[in-house]
Amino acid sequence: MIKRFNLFLRILGMGFIVVLSVEPLLAAEDPAITRTRQQALMLDDLYKTVIVLVTEHYVTDPSILSAASAGKALFAAMEEKGWHEVRLLGLTDVITNPDNKPKDAFEETAKKKLLAGNTPYEQVVKKFGKRYLRIATPVPVVMEKCIMCHANFKGNKGNIGALSYTIPLLK
């Protein structure tokens, strides 16, 4: 009887060990995705900080090259060099440049999510056998000066835009 009870305890114990060792494996994310997301968030902070600083110090009237246009030239240079792709998206009904409208299912869903909250929306996709992290981050009206060129942003406390990244997964 005692022996049987011991056996029962051992099997129960093994059960616990199995459950405990499987759980973290199931929860673990592919480290390449974690690394790429970290890089995306660093780039996002860098790009947004530059755009705000340029707007603050150099953009004095609506006829001046906007930080958005300068930013897009920077994004194009980064893409040309094969680093990653970034698109500036407008999430309101008034879009200065039609090129900035969400243009595929990922960006349409990102628009819905970012109009409802601030959590970056992401998806891992495969193109020609290569994996990429697509991630869209929020752009709110960060300063009064934005309204100088975007009258429709006035009073909007939510997200009026997004940066939409496509980054090759870091090995």
Contact residues toward ligand HEC (CB under 6 A) are: 52, 55, 59, 62, 64, 66, 68-69, 72, 88, 90, 95-97, 99-100, 139, 141-143, 145-146, 148-150, 160-161
Nearest distance from residue 162's CB to ligand HEC, in Å?
A: 7
Q: Where are the beta strands (DSSP E) in the chain?
A: 85-90, 121-127, 130-140, 159-168
End-to-end CA distance of the chain: 56
Nearer to ligand HEC, 40 or 162 (CB): 162
Nearest distance from residue 64's CB to ligand HEC, in Å?
A: 5
Length of the chain, in residues: 171
Helix (H) or strand (E) holding 1: none
Q: Which residue sits closest to ligand HEC, CB atoms considered? A: 161
Asked whether 99 and 85 are in contact (CB, 8 A), the reply is: no
Nearest distance from residue 89's CB to ligand HEC, in Å?
A: 6
Nearer to ligand HEC, 86 or 169 (CB): 86
Nearest distance from residue 149's CB to ligand HEC, in Å?
A: 3
Residue of 122, 109, 103 lying closest to 38 (CA atoms)? 122
Nearer to ligand HEC, 85 or 168 (CB): 85
Nearer to ligand HEC, 6 or 60 (CB): 60
For residue 50, give the amino acid letter: V
Count CB atoms within 10 A of the CB of residue 162.
26
Nearer to ligand HEC, 44 or 169 (CB): 44
Residue of 2, 60, 24, 43 lying closest to 170 (CA atoms)? 43
